[in-house]
């Protein structure tokens, strides 16, 4: 597929976006790889400068040697910087000012951190209460990753030891890779908007849409909120969880990237009879329970939720013949509720548990099998949504 254009959208509320036109077309760029696009407004010229990877270089009005993934960060004083890692190996992280007069040149870079864990990519920066947060991803190609961060009170360092951003472990940053970030400040508060990349079907995790998630702070500790529906008031600088939010993390088994038994966000009993399996209802993967011997197993997730009434649903295939097999909800302040799946389901079938009245602020959801030799179930696309 050839590149059509780098497009521009604008918004006054971060929810409704207007197409403003093409910044550069494919013919103007001459083809090749384009990615990690950032924009900053130069206070001297009044012009917006776009900086992007292009083939083996960077494109603005001129180009330079290619970075190992970069984004653009604009500080409170209007100065703009390229945040990147080195191209070869990507183990060194850098901050480099854009030339103040016009932003059309990269000034000498400062090596602010060296990774001992195989390198970092998807480099981004945001600032909160005077602290700079330089965050990156694993070298997973186009796959999802935890968000790894270092911090400093000075943009040029020294920076802290690296840590994983709270909230990004359970589903690998909402099944994304670090892509961009900016701070939203309004009349009543502020938070950081995290833009996570889901690369265009390269990793089987979507068709290229960015995932927008809020990051808040517990003191100086950033906290990532993995939500698939939320509302934002840009003028107030506030946000809230959407009524249709799915509270299950890694609900489609897509976060882990590779075949394995223990999946991000989930706990198992029964050992290796639990796995993930290619060929999901959506995406690449599904949850699986199977064995050539009789077994008892469960895969479950404990979730903190607001009190209220919920519906749990999932898509299922099943061999049938189990002594018991269920998609269940329990530990919510009432007796366990479940729907049986110990029947032959040769094609993906949606099952639901309705009227789950949560009264203690938490719930456990999952799949359970008490099975005979050769019995199996595949489950995908869990959903836990508040209905009342």
Burial of 149 (0-12, 13-18, 19+ CB in 10 A): buried
Structural domain includes residue 178? yes
In this predicted structure, the answer to whether residue 164 has a pLDDT above a threshold of 80 is yes
Average pLDDT over residues 312-327: 98
Same domain, 34 and 158: yes
Same domain, 38 and 78: yes
Same domain, 208 and 273: no
Structural domain includes residue 252? no
- Those residues whose C-beta lies under 8 Å from the C-beta of residue 55, and which sit 6 or more positions away, are 32, 33, 66
Length of the chain equals 388
Structural domain includes residue 291? yes
Helices (H), 334-383: none
Structural domain includes residue 282? yes
Structural domain includes residue 303? yes
Same domain, 287 and 230: no
Average pLDDT over residues 41-60: 85
Residue-level pLDDT at 1: 57
Q: Which DSSP state fits 28? A: H
Structural domain includes residue 262? no
Angle at 190 between CA 188 and CA 192, to 5 degrees: 160
Same domain, 285 and 225: no
The domain spanning residue 380 has which CATH number?
Answer: 2.60.120.260
What SS3 class is residue 388? coil
What's the rounded Cα separation, in Å, for the pair 48 and 78?
A: 12
Domain that holds residue 59: 5-241
Structural domain includes residue 17? yes
Same domain, 14 and 91: yes
Same domain, 61 and 123: yes
Cis, bond preceding 158 (omega within 30 deg of 0): yes
**Overall number of domains in the chain:** 2
Same domain, 207 and 285: no
What's the rounded Cα separation, in Å, for the pair 185 and 126?
A: 13
Where is the domain boundary, 203, 225, 241? Answer: 241
Do residues 131 and 151 touch, judged by C-beta distance below 8 A? yes
Same domain, 288 and 237: no
Condensed to tens digits (0 to 9), the pLDDT of residues 192-232 reads 999 999 876 666 656 667 899 999 999 999 999 999 999 99
Same domain, 116 and 37: yes
Instruction: Single out the residue of 332, 335, 331, 329 nearest to residue 314, CA to CA.
Output: 329
Token pair of 155, please? 């943009």
Same domain, 170 and 294: no
Percent of residues, the chain, with pLDDT higher than 90: 74
Structural domain includes residue 271? yes
Token pair of 84, please? 């990147």
Q: Residue 319 phi/psi, 5° resolution?
A: -75, -25
Q: Which DSSP state fits 75? A: -
Tell me how far the alpha carbon of residue 48 is from its chain's centroid. Answer: 28
The domain spanning residue 178 has which CATH number?
Answer: 2.115.10.20
Average pLDDT over residues 230-253: 97
Where is the domain boundary, 241, 257, 284? Answer: 241
Same domain, 79 and 180: yes
Position with higher pLDDT, 3 vs 159: 159
């Amino acid at each position: 597929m050839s590149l059509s254009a780098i497009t521009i959208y604008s918004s006054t509320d971060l929810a409704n976006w207007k197409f403003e036109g093409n910044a550069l077309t494919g013919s103007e760029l001459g083809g090749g790889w384009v990615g990690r696009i950032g924009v900053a407004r130069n206070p001297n010229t009044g012009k917006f400068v776009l900086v992007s990877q292009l083939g083996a270089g960077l494109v603005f009005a001129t180009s330079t040697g290619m970075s190992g993934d970069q984004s653009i960060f604009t500080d409170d004083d209007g100065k703009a910087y390229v945040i990147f890692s080195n191209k070869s190996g990507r183990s060194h992280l850098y901050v480099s000012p854009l030339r103040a007069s016009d932003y059309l040149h990269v000034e000498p870079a400062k090596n602010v951190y060296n990774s001992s864990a195989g390198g970092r990519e998807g480099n981004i920066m945001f600032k909160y209460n005077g602290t700079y947060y330089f965050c990156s991803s694993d070298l997973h190609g186009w796959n999802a990753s935890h968000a790894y961060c270092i911090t400093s009170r000075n943009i040029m360092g020294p920076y802290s030891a690296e840590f994983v951003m709270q909230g990004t472990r359970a589903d690998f940053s909402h099944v994304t890779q670090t892509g961009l970030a900016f701070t939203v400040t309004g009349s009543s508060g502020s938070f950081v908007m995290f833009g996570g990349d889901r690369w265009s079907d390269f990793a089987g995790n979507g068709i290229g849409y960015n995932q927008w998630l809020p990051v808040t702070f517990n003191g100086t500790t950033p906290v990532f909120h993995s939500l698939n529906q939320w509302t934002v008031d840009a003028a107030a600088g506030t946000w809230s969880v959407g009524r249709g939010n799915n509270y299950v993390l890694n609900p489609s088994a897509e976060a882990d990237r590779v075949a394995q038994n223990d999946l991000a966000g989930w706990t198992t009993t029964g050992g290796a009879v639990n796995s993930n399996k290619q060929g999901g209802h959506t995406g690449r993967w599904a949850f699986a329970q199977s064995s050539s011997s009789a077994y008892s197993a469960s895969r479950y997730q404990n979730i903190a939720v607001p009190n209220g009434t919920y519906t749990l649903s999932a898509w299922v295939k099943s061999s049938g013949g189990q002594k018991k097999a269920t998609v269940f909800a329990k530990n919510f302040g009432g007796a366990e509720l479940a729907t049986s799946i110990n029947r032959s389901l040769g094609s993906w079938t949606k099952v639901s548990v309705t009227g789950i009245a949560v009264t203690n602020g938490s719930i456990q959801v999952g799949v359970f099998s008490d099975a005979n030799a050769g019995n199996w179930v595949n489950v995908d696309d869990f959903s836990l949504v508040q209905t009342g």
